[in-house]
Amino acid sequence: MRGKAPPKQRSGCPISIALEIFGDSWSLLVVRDLMFKQRRTFNEFLSAEENIATNILSERLARLESNEIIEKHQDPNDARRYIYRLTEKGIALAPVLVEMILWSAQHETTAAAPDVVAEMTAHKGRFLLRVRQEWARIKLP
């Protein structure tokens, strides 16, 4: 399901376009949870430490779906629940998130596990391959 058509872009710059899609403080956290945290439902996203508001989460999910970064499927076992999954376009954000993790781990005080950061740094390509493989293993009903 699509949201309303986005307004005219402010420029053709790839960075500006990317920021118009996910340049806010919550969207990439949803992508993070799908990519790294095995969270796939509305309530699982709500349970993250950052405490997003329900109206904000709902709005961000709609926009990410509208931008084809995630897809939404009804849970066959419970019609109330929806299961989200990253699309190809969404999993392609992995290198962006990995570089953000590496930048923060080096320049800020974070809670990132040092061994994970060390592996990301030393074997970035392998780490990214594994992330994509795990994404590909997820089957939807």
Partner DNA sequence: GCAGATTGCTTGCATTTAGCAAGTAATACG
Partner DNA sequence: CGTATTACTTGCTAAATGCAAGCAATCTGC
Residues that bind a copy of itself (CB under 8 A): 10-21, 23-26, 28-29, 32, 48-51, 89, 92-93, 95-97, 99-112
Residue 39 CB, nearest approach to DNA (Å)? 10
Name the amino acid, one letter, at 18. A
Site for DNA in 41-70 (CB under 7 A): 41-43, 51-56, 58-59, 61
- The one of a copy of itself, DNA, none whose footprint includes residue 49, by CB under 5 to 8 A per kind, is a copy of itself
Q: What is the DSSP string of 12-50?
A: S-HHHHHHHHH-SSSHHHHHHHHHHS---SHHHHHTSTT
Q: Cα–chain-centroid distance for residue 53?
A: 17
Distance between CA atoms of 108 and 104, rounded to whole angstroms? 5
Q: Give, for 122, the enclosing helix (H) or strand (E).
A: helix 114-122
Residue 8 CB, nearest approach to a copy of itself (Å)? 12
Q: Which residue has the tokens 């949803």?
A: 30
Site for DNA in 8-37 (CB under 7 A): 24-26
Footprint of DNA (CB under 7 A): 24-26, 41-43, 51-56, 58-59, 61, 75, 78-82
